């Protein structure tokens, strides 16, 4: 009689083309031997179970996609990760500094434009193995910490200077959207298998409050002092940051999901775009609808806003600019292809830069929507770029980090990473944080401030 003591276990995290253990199992069973009496072996024999011993079998199988790293061979890492997931997060930083990156795109307007000088070539300061993948948003940088949300439901804190892990804690099965940090509290959207929103006090390392509800797969917005999230229903809800009290809520068209994070379009207003291209502007304090507009095509990547314009990337080769006051269309840039996905844009005074699935990075004049330049990287770009003073940085699905001249898109430098970059970048000072597939986080530092000018 055999029975499983430990059920089949699957290691489920490996990079593309680097899959490791497909499966292994441990079985314990009782082995019963039928033994026959030697002196009677010439005649008919009764079956008598007289040996009954326990056995332990460990088996594994590996369908392999070369090359495979030995590290993925080790289930130990998963064990450690599981143990680590029971830990806590602490950060002695009550508020975000001016140069910090406390939310997706650095600010509620999701501009990805710190405009500091970060000149290539960059030097790799450290790389960190998060043992988990990342959503499309950016990491956060608060004080001496890089905060990373993973698709395995963890928030990890990594020391900014050294790349050493300082804490990890689980929040459900997946965190897809980017958390937001304000006044010592980290607001974490729960995409699956847990609560819809968590407020975690980083100073004391404790959970302040959480709310149940439909999963939240987009980033958190701080608007009018409220914590605003859009869930899968879709429903927009605003909570008091300290108590989690529901301040207001508003339901949107249930027939169209919201896949892009909400974006601020003024001091007290923000906008939400759904997959039908319907844009709804709301008052952050009351939830009152200010205006609605049609982007003309589905919006799946997070928009950005600057001055009085809201920039909406669509999935059908259009970038649409709406007036933030009334939602009227100011301009639309159209490459006349129904099948090109535009990434979230980075918006500065002089340029609106975004990647696309056709392998190009484009820069538009944010006032007119006219094309200023385009860089053809060959492979798709799905992550938001980062605009610095003279250089645009963008990660591609070819696994490269590119530095492009901000004025004309000329490639200045590139760096090959371990996997595709599909998460947005974050920066502070002359540092850039990059998250790439399958589970790596890199910190780069500018090494030659004159490089871009000389080039």
Partner 1 sequence: MFWRRILFLSLLVAPVVPLPASAQYGYNFGRNKIHYEDFDWQILKTEHFDIYYYPEMQDLAEHGAFFAEEAYEDLQNKFDFALARRVPIIFYSSNIHFKQTNTTPGFIPDGVGGFFEFLKGRVVIPANGNIHQFRRVVRHELTHVFTYARVVRALRDHRVPLEQYLPLWFTEGLAEYWSGEPDYQHEMMIRDALFSNYLVPLENLDRISGTYLMYKEGEAVCRFISEEYGEEKILQLIENSWKNRDFREIMAATLREPFEEIAQKWLVWLKKQYYPSLESAQIASYTTDPVAVRGFNGKPAYYQFDDGTRKVYFIGNKTGYTNVYEVEVDSLYHPVGEPQVLIAGERNDRFEAFHAFESRISTSRQGKLAFVTKSGERDVIHVYDLERGELEGSYGFDDQIAVYSPDWSPDGTKIVFSSIDRSGYSDLFTFDLESGNLKKLTNDVYDDRDPAWSPDGRFLAFSSDRTSMGVRDAYNLFLYDVKDGGIQYVTYGDQYDMTPRWSPDGNHIVYASAQRDTTGRYGAQNIWVADVSGKVSASPEVALLSTDAPMVIPATGQAEERQITEITGTAFDPVWTEDDRLLFTTLERYHFTIRSLDDVDSLVADPREEVPIELADVGSHWSFGSIGTEDGVRSVPYHRKYNLDVAQGAVSQNPIWGTTGGAILAFSDMLSDDYWYLTLYNTGTAQSDFLNSMNVALTRVQLNRRTSVAYSVFRYGGLRYDITDPDAFEVSPLYRETMYGGSLTISYPFSMFRRVEVGTSFAYSDKEISFKENSERRAVLLSNSVSLVHDNTIFNGNGPVEGWRANLTAAYTTDVMYSNVNYFTLSADVRHYLRLGNQVTFASWGMGRINQGKEARLFVLGGSWDMRGYHLFSVRARKMWFTSQELRFPLVNAPSVYLPILAPFGISSIRGAAFVDAAHVWNDGYYDEERLPLVPGYTTGETMGSAGLGLRVNIFGGFVLRYDLGYRFSDGFRDRDHHLFKQFFFGWDF
Q: Report if residue 223 touches partner 1, rule: CB under 8 A.
A: no
Q: Which is nearer to partner 1, 195 or 420 (CB)?
A: 420
**Residue closer to partner 1, measured from CB, 100 or 176:** 176
Choice from 65, 82, 206, 448 touching partner 1 (CB under 8 A): 65
Inter-CA distances, 251 with 42, 132, 279, 287, 407, Å: 84, 33, 13, 10, 42
Residue with token string 């960059």: 122
Binding mask 295-314 for partner 1 (x = CB under 8 A): ---x-x--------------
- Measured from the CB atom, the residue of 150 and 388 that comes closer to partner 1 is 150
Residue nearer to partner 1 on the CB measure, 193 or 429:
193
User: Three-state SS for 77?
Assistant: helix
Residue 418 per-residue DSSP state? S
Three-class SS state of 452: helix
35 touches partner 1 by CB under 8 A: yes
Per CB under 8 A, the segment of 122-130, 138-146, 235-243, 251-259 that binds partner 1 is 251-259
DSSP 271-314: EEE-TT-EEEEEETTT--EEEEEE-SS---S--EEETTEEEEE-
Q: For the chain, how far is it from start to end, CA to CA, in angstroms?
A: 75
CB nearer to partner 1: pick between 228 and 252: 252
Structural contact between residues 196 and 188, judged by C-beta atoms closer than 8 angstroms: no
d(CA 109, CA 107): 5
Which residues inside 361-390 make contact with partner 1, applying CB under 8 A? 378-380, 382
Query: What DSSP character marks residue 80?
Result: H
Q: Shortest distance, CB of residue 148 to partner 1, whole angstroms?
A: 14
Residues 6+ positions from 244 with CB-CB distance below 8 Å: 197, 199, 208, 209, 210, 211
106 vs 168, beta carbon nearer partner 1: 168
Cβ closest to partner 1, residue 376 vs residue 453: 376
**C-alpha to C-alpha distance for 322 and 368, rounded to whole angstroms:** 11
The residue count for binding partner 1 (CB under 8 A) is 71
Contact stretch for partner 1 (CB under 8 A) within 118-126, 302-310, 321-329, 392-400:
392-400
Select 104 or 176, whichever has its Cβ closest to partner 1. Answer: 176
Q: Least Å distance between CB 341 and partner 1?
A: 4
Q: For partner 1, which residue of 1, 39, 66, 336 counts as binding (CB under 8 A)?
A: 66
114 or 234: CB nearest partner 1: 234
Q: Which of residues 252-271 bind partner 1 (CB under 8 A)?
A: 254-257, 259
Which range touches partner 1 (CB under 8 A), out of 30-38, 113-121, 286-294, 321-329?
Answer: 30-38
Pick from 58, 50, 53, 68: which is nearest to 23 by CA?
Answer: 58
> How far apart are alpha carbons 144 and 142 in whole angstroms?
6
Which residues is 309 bridged to in the sheet? Answer: 306, 323
**Ramachandran category for residue 378: left, alpha or beta (phi over 0 → left; psi -120 to 50 → alpha):** left
- Closest approach, Cβ 191 to partner 1, in A, equals 9
Q: Which of residues 143-182 bind partner 1 (CB under 8 A)?
A: 151-152, 173-174
Q: Name the residue nearer to partner 1 (CB basis): 315 or 348.
A: 315
Establish if 397 lies at the interface with partner 1 (CB under 8 A): yes
Q: Which residues from 326-355 bind partner 1, rule CB under 8 A?
A: 337-341
Q: Which two tokens stand for residue 370?
A: 């006219």
- Quick check: 188 and 210 in contact, CB under 8 A? no
Answer yes or no whether residue 13 interacts with partner 1 by CB under 8 A. Answer: yes
Figure out which of the listed residues 156, 188, 358, 373 binds partner 1, where binding follows CB under 8 A: 358
Stretch that binds partner 1, among 31-39, 179-187, 222-230, 368-376 (CB under 8 A): 31-39
* Nearest-approach distance from CB 101 to partner 1, in angstroms: 23
- How far apart CA 384 and CA 380 sit, in angstroms, is 12
CA–CA gap between residue 384 and residue 14 (Å, rounded): 25
Nearer to partner 1, 27 or 93 (CB): 27
Per rule CB under 8 A, is residue 419 in the interface with partner 1?
yes
């Amino acid at each position: 009689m055999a029975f499983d003591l430990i059920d089949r276990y699957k290691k489920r995290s490996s990079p593309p083309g680097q899959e490791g253990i497909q499966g292994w199992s441990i079985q314990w069973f009782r082995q019963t031997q039928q033994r026959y009496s030697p002196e009677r072996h010439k005649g008919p024999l009764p079956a008598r179970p007289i040996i009954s011993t326990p056995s332990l079998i460990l088996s594994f199988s590996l369908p392999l996609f070369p090359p495979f790293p030995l590290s993925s061979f080790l289930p130990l890492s998963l064990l450690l990760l599981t143990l680590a997931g029971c830990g806590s997060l602490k950060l002695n930083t009550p508020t975000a500094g001016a140069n910090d990156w406390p939310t997706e795109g650095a600010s509620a307007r999701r501009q990805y434009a710190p405009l500091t000088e970060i000149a290539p070539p960059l030097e790799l300061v450290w790389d960190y193995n998060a043992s988990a993948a990342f959503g499309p948003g950016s990491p956060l940088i608060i004080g001496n910490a890089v905060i990373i949300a993973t698709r395995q439901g963890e928030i990890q804190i990594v020391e900014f200077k050294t790349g050493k892990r300082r804490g990890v804690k689980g929040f459900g099965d997946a965190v897809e959207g980017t958390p937001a940090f304000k006044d010592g509290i980290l607001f974490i959207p729960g995409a699956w298998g847990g609560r819809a929103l968590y407020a975690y006090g980083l100073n004391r390392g404790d959970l302040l409050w959480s709310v149940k509800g439909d999963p939240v797969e987009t980033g958190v917005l701080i608007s009018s002092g409220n914590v605003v999230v859009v869930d899968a229903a879709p429903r927009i809800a605003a909570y008091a940051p300290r108590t989690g009290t529901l301040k207001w809520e508003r339901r949107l068209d249930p027939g169209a999901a919201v896949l892009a994070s909400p974006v601020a379009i003024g001091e007290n207003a923000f906008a939400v775009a759904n997959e039908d291209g319907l844009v709804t502007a709301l008052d952050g304090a009351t939830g009152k609808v200010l205006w609605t507009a049609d982007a003309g095509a589905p919006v799946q990547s997070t928009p950005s806003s600057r001055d009085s314009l809201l920039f909406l990337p669509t999935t059908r080769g259009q970038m649409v600019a709406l007036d933030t006051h009334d939602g009227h269309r100011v301009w639309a840039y159209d490459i006349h292809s129904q099948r090109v996905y535009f990434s979230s844009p980075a918006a500065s005074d002089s340029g609106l830069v975004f990647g696309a699935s056709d392998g190009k990075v484009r820069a538009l004049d944010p006032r007119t929507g006219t094309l200023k330049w385009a860089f053809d990287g060959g492979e798709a770009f799905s992550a938001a770029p980062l605009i610095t003073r003279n250089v645009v940085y963008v990660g591609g699905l070819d696994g490269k980090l590119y530095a492009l001249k901000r004025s004309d898109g000329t490639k200045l430098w590139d760096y090959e990473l371990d996997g595709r970059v599909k998460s947005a970048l974050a920066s502070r000072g002359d540092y850039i944080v990059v998250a790439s597939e399958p589970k790596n986080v890199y910190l780069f530092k500018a090494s030659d401030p004159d490089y871009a000018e000389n080039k």
